[in-house]
Amino acid sequence: MNYDDETQLIEDILDGEAAAYAVLVRRYQSPIHGLMSRMCRNPEDASDLTQEAFVVAYEKLEKFKVGARFFPWLYTLSLNIARDHLRKQGRVEIPASALHDGFMENIQDETADDALIEKIDSEKLFAAMDALGLETREVLILRYQEGLSIQDIADALKISVSAVKMRISRGLERLRVIFVDSIGGQEA
């Protein structure tokens, strides 16, 4: 992610240039909408919550420490909005859980070669990541899909740098176990 111009953009917004906020919206609407989609699994709610997150972020921009990274701050705020929404609906966040029965049905039973993981479809991968629990899933998404630094992920999720590293390591290993070892491709 490019942060080079964000301090100036935020200064401009605070000076009254509302239109400059569109640059930040355009830059981060995709990851925030992705977060909301993962959280509520409903396209309409995801759209509404994304809008809400950006509007609330704009309203609270005076509280943002100019010079800091904008996205981790926006992400934290968005995550809280999504959690509030789930709470109001009486729904719970995704806890770490066992995969549902039949998850492995369509994964080919073959030895673990380099091509195996490439055959995993995205739905299976999403489901497996959900099974890791919300925070581990989000750490992996932020690291590998959004390309955030370890420090930025720690800031966004309000956890320590070492906790981020541990979740990345354990999360990937658990996915490997799910998709490779479970098929029996690895020798003990």
Binding residues for other proteins, per CB under 8 A? Answer: 4-5, 7-9, 11-23, 25-27, 29-30, 33-34, 37, 43, 46-47, 50-51, 54-55, 58-59, 61-62, 112, 114, 117-118, 120, 122, 125-126, 129, 140-141, 143-145, 172-173, 175-176, 179-180, 186-187
| Least Å from the CB of residue 71 to other proteins | 15
Q: 21-40 and 70-88 are packed helices; what angle lies between their axes, rounded to 10 degrees?
A: 40
- Residue 153 CB, nearest approach to other proteins (Å): 13
Rounded least distance, CB 176 to other proteins, Å: 5
Which residues lie closer than 8 Å to 114 by C-beta, 6 or more apart? none
Within the chain, residue ranges assigned H as helices are 6-14, 21-40, 43-59, 70-88, 122-131, 134-140, 150-157, 161-179
Rounded distance, CA 129 to CA 123, Å? 10
Closer residue to other proteins in complex, CB, 63/90: 63
Least Å distance, CB 87 to other proteins, is 22
